[in-house]
Structure 1
């Protein structure tokens, strides 16, 4: 039975699920890679079962790079992803999956209006791809337990992986994406329920009320 006209025309975009994130030179810390990669695989299986197209993205870097080096084990797709069916494959060299690739054209050609982002990292390639997608007119859903972050320390300060992941997901939910767990997303596919979206204003008002309480 065809989906109602109000239902999103989705594609699942699986971003950079590569071995360097699995205990390699850029090991995901929060949520842990071993937990989140299982959810990426679950999302891929659920998408395939629901007739949702799957796009797999791979980050490419020069052979001398410490991460994602062309031809290296760390740069290869993780076996959980590499062995699953996909409808389109994209190699990229910058954070956004849209920059310098055919992703937008492929999505338009397949009449996709909503991308569902899973993969790594929450605060870098996911964030860049999501903001880019919104600016091009796509709606976005983000699977927060099918992604993860690493800690950073630089001249601007320090942030733990947990802090980075938590703050970015809150920011995304305020404007750029519907943020939900993989199980919640799969339930939306089964029931036709649309995931919750929010606004900058409403998010700010709740924070002010919370602070005043």
Structure 2
């Protein structure tokens, strides 16, 4: 097993800009991201930092602006590769897939923002590329959503994504659980769509 940690879009926009992360509380999720980065560094797990980049005139993540810049705590830590992306998935239009393949990575750990957007998109793409995926529940986060289809609190959005990820696409774990697995050199338990539907099937029986 060869892991890599991908730290997605931990940028000022989510802290002091127009998209402040609401759940988990952004300072708590940031602390978990930093713990994951430190753990990865200590145990030889390569770290990829991803930065969302929009045109300079964009109101969100405008290239060169303060909101576009990485949080200083992330920027100040060592990492192995920087990916600039323009869409939700860190794989789309970037060299991430090739970079991971060249290093023999077969397991991708997802941290950063936002849970249902760039995190979930990257996790699903990784899954469909044949990678095992790990999704850190406390090192990710999001905002409340209101659309023509309805509205959800940030906590509801976050928790709904974790349930779906854990049903098939990713092993969902806290940063502490993941760090213990890294130290032991062990994989996290893999998700099972069969097992995740058993409770519902039993209720219908």
TM-score (norm 2): 0.96
Matches of 2:182 and 2:90, distance apart in 1: 24
Q: Which of 69, 86, 98 matches 1:93?
A: 86
- Deviation digits for residues 72-116 of structure 1 (CA, Å, limit 9, x no counterpart): 111100011000001111000000000000000000101111111
Q: Which of 18, 36, 44 matches 1:43?
A: 36
| CA shift for structure 1 position 37 | 0.5
The answer for the alignment partner of 2:136 in structure 1 is 143
Structure 1 segments unaligned to the other structure (5+ residues): 1-7
The answer for the alignment partner of 2:156 in structure 1 is 163
The answer for the alignment partner of 2:123 in structure 1 is 130
- Deviation digits for residues 114-139 of structure 1 (CA, Å, limit 9, x no counterpart): 11110001100000001011111111
Matches of 1:169 and 1:16, distance apart in 2: 18
| CA shift for structure 1 position 205 | 1.3
The answer for the alignment partner of 2:17 in structure 1 is 24
**SS of 1:66's equivalent?**
coil
The answer for the alignment partner of 2:166 in structure 1 is 173
Matches of 2:172 and 2:154, distance apart in 1: 18
Structure 2 segments unaligned to the other structure (5+ residues): none
Shift >6 Å, 4+ stretches:
none
**SS of 2:198's equivalent?**
helix
The answer for the alignment partner of 1:4 in structure 2 is none
Matches of 2:44 and 2:109, distance apart in 1: 14
What's the RMSD between the two structures over aligned residues?
Answer: 1.4
Matches of 2:200 and 2:140, distance apart in 1: 25
| CA shift for structure 1 position 202 | 1.4
